[in-house]
Amino acid sequence: MVALVPEPILKDMTSIDTMLARYKRAEQIKELWRPKFEECYEYSMPARESFYPRSAGQNNTEKIFDETAVVGVQEFASRLQAGIVPNYARWAELIAGSEVPVEEKEEVNMSLDEVTNYVFEVLQNSNFAQEIHEAFLDLSVGTGALLIEEGDAIKPIRFTAVPLSRMTLDTGPNDVIDTVYRTRRIKASNIKVIYPQAQLPNEIVRQMSNGKDFFVEIVECVSRNYMKPNVEVYDFTVFSSNPKHIYLQKSFMGEGSNPYVVFRWSKAAGEVYGRGPLLNSMPAVKTVNLVIEMILENAQMSISGMYQMEDDGIINVDTIQLLPGTIIPRSPSSRGLEPITPAGRFDVADLVLKDMRTNIKRALYNEMLGDPNRTPMSATEVAERMADLSRQIGSAFGRLQAEMVTPLLQRVIHILKKQGRINIPTVNGREIKVQSTSPLAQAQANQDINGFNRFLELVGARFGPQLINLLVDSNESTKYLAEKFGIPEKLIRSKEEMQMVMRQMQEAMQMQQAQQQGQMEPDAGQETPPS
């Protein structure tokens, strides 16, 4: 057990000694998780960056004898991406919050709909889809992280999935992640390129003046500053322990100014890092690999065979070769080589493997949408399975909504506002609210729609359809259903437009009735012609 060093109480929170002390404490907490994390990556994601030093190109698949976890993690990330942030789709929208007056919400929502379209156009033209998939792979272990930075004129936003091995986390007073440490190995000549305002230590400047170029281990720290309680302020510090030096210090302010979006699958009370489905299913993953390894060993023995013999002084066990066409001499009184029947039973091993593989797939939610090799499912069956998945990961989905979807869009909007590409109020949940419209969110909304439909059916069956028209406001019901289905605000007419259309329809009906009456009056006054 690693002993935790108590965090020193220092007034100067920006000094190098204070930064190193806080970083050391966070590293000690991470050290308790490091063996568990490394084990997960070894059995499921061997190509990902290791938590321990490893040479480039080193093979890390020695422990993998079964690909169930390897394939399962990839499917978990893909299906989670398709359910929460699907490619080339609007998986969230900006709507008016609770502080916006009711009479202004329609106008605000229509303007926000245009902003939402632009935001997702930027996301689709960026590297978001690739990097969020990598972050979801880390989420299967428990914790994923995205670094969202300003891009260039062509691609205004750049995403980077920060590996869990390069990231150290710490929590604040509210048990919320408020500090992110990211370790980087950078050439000394590139420090000023990456950080133009960085102040290099004299030692590095002296070595570079001699024509040397070498790697420097630095740490980026983004930490919440609580000196202003009503404003989000984050301190950005770049420092190193060898040499002990602070390269850069600056602050970010406002909603969405934090460049890191860290999200967890689930967490235990008091823990910093999350616990993912892969971490919980590791006993089954290790058991499956052990069983496959034993099966391969038994298969090897079945192919090469095991034999016993009498020591007759002729057969030499050190030089004998069991190859086709080999002639093995023996004495007249010897029985020669006698095969030994293996004791292993492959049928029992197959039963164990089948159950364990099913448990792993169920833990990684790989069976929620069925087998892709079977006959394609109907839209109703897909919706039902998505609703079932939504119920099973309801708590995780709520956490991802709070820790990933909302902060991600806040960060994107913050960058676009800073670049002058959009102009909207602060996204704080009151003035403007982020509402998820992903397939998983839609599956949850379908439960509300089904409840509304059952209500109408029950009232109509019990009291008659006339009471429905009297009880239910058709305009408000239509808006409610449109919101649940994720229909854009611009497709729904406003109250003024609906009133104008109603007047036009009434005028058209009156004109039609007048014309019919005008045609009937001459016909009534006409006399019957003589025969």
pLDDT band at residue 525, thresholds of 50, 70 and 90?
A: low
Q: Which region among 192-196, 243-247, 336-340, 415-419 has the lowest average model confidence (pLDDT)?
A: 336-340
Residue 509 has pLDDT above 50, yes or no: yes
- Secondary structure (DSSP) of 427-443: -SSSSEEEEE-SHHHHH
**What's the burial of 265, exposed, middle or buried (CB within 10 Å: 0-12/13-18/19+)?**
buried
Mean pLDDT of 195-223: 89
| pLDDT for res 54 | 64
Are the beta carbons of 249 and 235 closer than 8 angstroms?
yes
Check residue 10 and give its pLDDT.
36
Residue 455 and residue 467 in contact, taking contact as beta carbons nearer than 8 Å:
no
Instruction: Identify the weakest region by mean pLDDT among 323-332, 418-427, 455-464, 491-500.
Output: 323-332
pLDDT for the residue 326: 64
| CA 507 – CA 511 distance, rounded (Å) | 6
pLDDT, residue 11, reads 38
Per-residue pLDDT, 8: 38
Q: Is 171 left (phi over 0), alpha (psi -120 to 50) or beta?
A: beta
DSSP 8-state symbol, 166: G
Nearest Cα to 391, choosing from 370, 366, 371, 365?
365
Alpha helices in 202-276 (DSSP H): 202-209
Indicate the pLDDT class of residue 477, thresholds 50, 70 and 90: confident
- % of the chain surpassing 70 pLDDT: 77
Which of helix, strand or coil describes residue 447? helix
Helix (H) or strand (E) segment spanning residue 248: strand 244-253
pLDDT of 246 reads: 92
Residue 435 burial (10 A CB sphere; 0-12, 13-18, 19+): middle
pLDDT at 136: 95
Per-residue pLDDT tens digits for 20-46: 999 999 999 999 999 999 999 989 988
Compare 6 and 458 and report the one with higher pLDDT. 458
Which pLDDT score, from 0 to 100, does residue 529 have? 55
Please give the distance of CA 222 from its chain centroid, rounded to a whole number: 21
- Give the pLDDT confidence of 88-147 residue by residue, as tens digits: 888 988 888 777 777 777 778 888 888 999 999 999 999 999 999 999 999 999 999 999
Q: Name the E strands within 97-133.
A: none
The number of CA neighbours under 13 Å toward the Cβ of 376 is 2
User: What pLDDT does residue 410 have?
Assistant: 92
Kind of pairing, strands 143-150 and 244-253?
A: unpaired
Q: Contact, 406 vs 441, CB < 8 A?
A: no
Between CA 267 and CA 276 the distance in angstroms is 9
13-22, 156-165, 193-202, 463-472: lowest mean pLDDT where? 463-472
Mean pLDDT across 457-468: 79
Tens-digit pLDDT profile for residues 51-85 = 766 656 566 777 888 888 999 999 999 988 988 89
With contact defined as beta carbons under 8 Å apart, do 188 and 215 qualify? yes
Mean pLDDT, residues 466-492: 74
Closest CA to 7 of 17, 20, 21: 21
Tokens at 330, concatenated? 């023996």
* Residue 261 β-bridge partners: 146
Distances (CA, A) of 24 to 3, 21, 53, 325, 492: 11, 5, 19, 67, 56
pLDDT for 1 beyond 50: no
Specify the pLDDT at position 6. 40
Q: What is the mean pLDDT of residues 254-267?
A: 92
Average pLDDT, the chain: 81
Q: How far is CA 356 from CA 287, 363, 388, in A?
A: 8, 10, 22
Q: What is the CA radius of gyration of the chain?
A: 34
Asked which of 270-284, 404-418, 459-473, 483-497 is least confident by mean pLDDT, the reply is 483-497
